[in-house]
Amino acid sequence: MNGDKDRTTKCAKGYKMKITDVKATTLKGFKQWNYARIETDEGLTGLGEAHPGSGVADIIKQFKGALVGKDPLNIEPLYNQMIGAARNRYAMGLSAIGGIEAALWDLKGKILETPVYQLLGGIPPGPYHSTDVCRGS
């Protein structure tokens, strides 16, 4: 908890957290599941799942140079920068960017101590209706 208080104090004084590393992990099963991990100078990390497939983890790692030193709270400008810098703007490249973006949202939720669904607008007002998809109705 003391670390949270220190982080809040730093943010109030204009300190900007920085991304220090971008890592990728692949878990192999019947598919290759890819994950992006964003690390910060405050020791916080964000984790995001990219689309499964070979080669995606390598593309995630290629974005390290574009992200290190940047403020992880500025998700939209970072996303636009990655789209502009992507050599592979097809499925694999966009999958890697999607995994990194998910990791940035995870990190933002941790920094702001707010669930990501709240950052994205919260739960929309109901009523909610379920359908029986097994019978096609």
Q: pLDDT tens digits, the chain, 137 residues: what are they?
A: 445 556 555 555 567 899 999 999 999 988 899 999 999 999 999 999 998 988 899 999 999 999 999 999 999 999 999 988 876 667 788 899 999 999 999 999 999 999 999 999 988 777 777 665 555 54
pLDDT of amino acid 137 = 47
Domain that includes residue 32, residue range = 2-119
Examine residue 105 and state whether it is found in any structural domain, yes or no.
Answer: yes
Residue 125 lies in a domain: no
pLDDT at 12: 52
Residue 38 domain flag: yes
pLDDT score recorded for residue 6: 62
Question: Would residue 96 count as lying in a domain?
Answer: yes
Strands across the sheet containing 32-40: 19-28, 32-40, 45-50
pLDDT at 16: 86
Q: What is the pLDDT of residue 76?
A: 95
With respect to residue 126, please indicate whether it lies within any of the assigned structural domains: no
For residue 18, give the CATH number of its domain: 3.30.390.10
Nearest in space to 105 (alpha carbons), one of 36, 16, 41: 36
Is 134 a domain residue? no
Residue 109 lies in a domain: yes
Count the domains in the chain. 1
